[in-house]
Structure 1
Amino acid sequence: MNAIDLTADGWTHAYSGKVRDLYIETGTADLASAQRVLMVASDRVSAFDHVLSPGIPGKGELLTTLSLWWFDRLVGAPNHLVADHELRGDAVRDLIPDAVAGRAMLARTLDMFPIECVVRGYLVGSGWLEYQESQTVCGIALPAGLANGDRLPEPIYTPAWKAPMGEHDENIPFERTVELVGAEVATALRDLSLDVFSRASGIAESRGVILADTKFEFGANRDSGVITLADEVLTSDSSRYWDAEAYAAGGPGRLASFDKQIVRNWLSAHWDQTGEPPALPPEIVTQTAARYRELIERLTGS
């Protein structure tokens, strides 16, 4: 997980996640004291808590493009983006280095809430597994008789506690979020998440795409305290999208998602999840890259 060296451009590497690298302006002590951060999306791909090899060519740029596209459309939902250029004398200076152009966002640092705000509009994945056992999803009771992939009567909010690096996030009830951040913030996070999901679902459906579920992250603006949408938003890595026409037609391919599910399926068939995962074959890399690109084309029309 080697990050790009951007010190010559005035940015110092501060942190790396599975996919993203964070940089602070050189001379800033640490992330906690930084006023803004450069978020760079790499081409790394992860599955089953492992970063895999090779990466997916162009993935970082596709994720960044999609986040920026959605931020532009979610008017009224404050987000963490700040201007990526500034005026120096009579000249405009681009703050995003050429080495990461197209795959980076300049963002305001926030006091992040330790909650992943998950919204589910359809019964699928881990929710379907739980439903078969208890007729609930994350403890929320649902009607009887639902099938895998069915649309829920209304979207449900199923938050998770963001575990420290190397640990698994943990689904938690809404009452636990109240204990973590207080009733006012917990309620605001839930309401904001459901509102943004509803708006995004409508936009996606108008383009022939179903937004099945997603996760949001929020933080508090350090100056105003305003709850602010952060990190990536509504990308292939944070959301499950389906083709609406294929879904309506039914059949085994109706729940094929525009993400790295191809990678997960191949790993499940070729790796027992012990030791290091095998390298992805070229055809799996190519197919996965194509699914990421197809979603961008379907949503943005370009």
Structure 2
Amino acid sequence: MELLHKGKVRDIYSDRPGEILLVASDRVSTFDIVHPTPIPDKGKVLTALSLWWFDQVADLIPNHVLSADDVPAELKGQAIRCRQVEIVPVECIARGYLAGTGLLSYGESGTISGVELPPGLREGDQLAEPIFTPSTKVPVGQGHDEAMTYDEVVALVGAETAAQLRALTLGLYARGVERARERGVIVADTKFEFGRDTDGRLVLADEVFTPDSSRFWAVEDWEPGRPQHSMDKQYLRDWASSTGWNKQEPAPEIPADVVAEVRRRYIAMYEQLTGARWEEGVGGGR
């Protein structure tokens, strides 16, 4: 196999023309920097949950998945065989609640990615309607992703593609919110990646509604005006911030108790969303 790309979490290999192996590792990053400590089973959880979500949204947009079984035995559970696509250079983010970098931007300017919001919103508030807040895609080790306005997306990819990206992002988010809410989970925000196949069609790629790419809260715990109990990577971000780390290379080692809690939250979210026990998950389990 030929290594084509090494990302923060995923590695991309080529072993057949027109196809790739997308391998989710146990690496974990915060603030766009990879920590030296892996999270056991994380790659399998991300892969299994993404495959489940790809099925849930398959009627909205085609995806790049070919097979989760036709992969090398040593990568079973962590790898997906995919069609090779040309990734659109925009992180497509949908937000339905005020949190994270969106909250910071709102506090500074009353806007997120150029979208004006009403005054007086609190942390954790639900927005009147979900908004499209894209960002740049910065290669690993070359800095941090930066918010983009819709006009900047138009300038980068053209008006037609920008409109498609916004509509697809918000449509996928609506489906995810609906499915998750049925299972007691709020999807506060999430990000998607899209690519173009050899026919020029936009397809859904990478990962979908995982604890790495989404902000998950329990419906029963939601209380605007304070930080929410997270069932996603926010727990690790909060720990990393509490260490006094300057968010530059190198990232700190993660203590064993924090590793265990991150793993527990990821597996709990897989089980709650899919309704399946982790031991029975696609490619997952101990």
Q: Give the TM-score normalised by the residue count of structure 1.
A: 0.86
Cα distance, 1:251 vs. partner?
A: 8.2
Q: 1:286 aligns with which of 239, 242, 260?
A: 260
On the 8 A contact 2:124/2:225 being kept in 1, the answer is no
| Native 8 Å contact 1:158 1:172 kept in 2 | yes
Q: Which amino acid aligns with 2:2?
A: T
- What SS is found at the alignment partner of 1:68? helix
1:236: which partner in 2? 211
Residue aligned with 1:63, SS: helix
Question: Greater CA deviation, 186-195 or 254-263?
Answer: 254-263
- State the Cα RMSD in Å: 1.7
* Aligned residues between the structures: 273
Aligned-pair identity (%): 46
Distance 2:252 2:203 in 1: 39
**Offset of residue 72 of structure 1:** 0.7
For 2:134, the equivalent position in structure 1 comes to 159
State the secondary structure of the residue aligned to 1:171: coil
Query: Do 2:180 and 2:186's aligned partners in 1 also have CA atoms closer than 8 Å?
Result: yes
Match of 2:67 in 1: 83
Distance in structure 1 (CA, Å) of the matches to 2:252 and 2:91: 30
In structure 2, C-alpha distance between the alignment counterparts of 1:117 and 1:265, rounded to whole Å: 23
- AA of the residue aligned to 1:22: I
Unaligned runs of 5+ in 1: 1-10, 29-33, 85-93
- Deviation of 1:280 after TM superposition, in Å, equals 1.2
Give 1:152 deviation, angstroms: 0.2
The separation in 2 between residues aligned to 1:164 and 1:17, in whole angstroms, is 8
Is the contact made by 1:236 and 1:258 (CA closer than 8 Å) also made in structure 2?
Answer: yes
Deviation at 1:261, TM superposition (A): 2.4
Instruction: Mark the runs of 5 or more structure 2 residues left unpaired by the alignment.
Output: 277-286
* AA at the equivalent of 1:18: K
CA distance in 1, matches of 2:29, 2:138: 17
- In structure 1, the residue matched to 2:154 is 178
Q: Secondary structure at 2:144's aligned position in 1? A: coil
Partners of 2:225 and 2:97 lie apart in 1 by 17
Give the Cα–Cα distance (whole angstroms) in 1 for the partners of residues 161 and 196 of structure 2.
Answer: 10
Q: Which has the larger radius of gyration?
A: 1
Aligned-pair CA distance for 1:51 = 1.6
- 2:284 counterpart residue number: none
Query: Which protein, 1 or 2, shows the higher relative CO under an 8 Å CA cutoff with sep ≥ 6?
Result: 2
How far does residue 71 in structure 1 lie from its aligned partner after superposition?
0.3
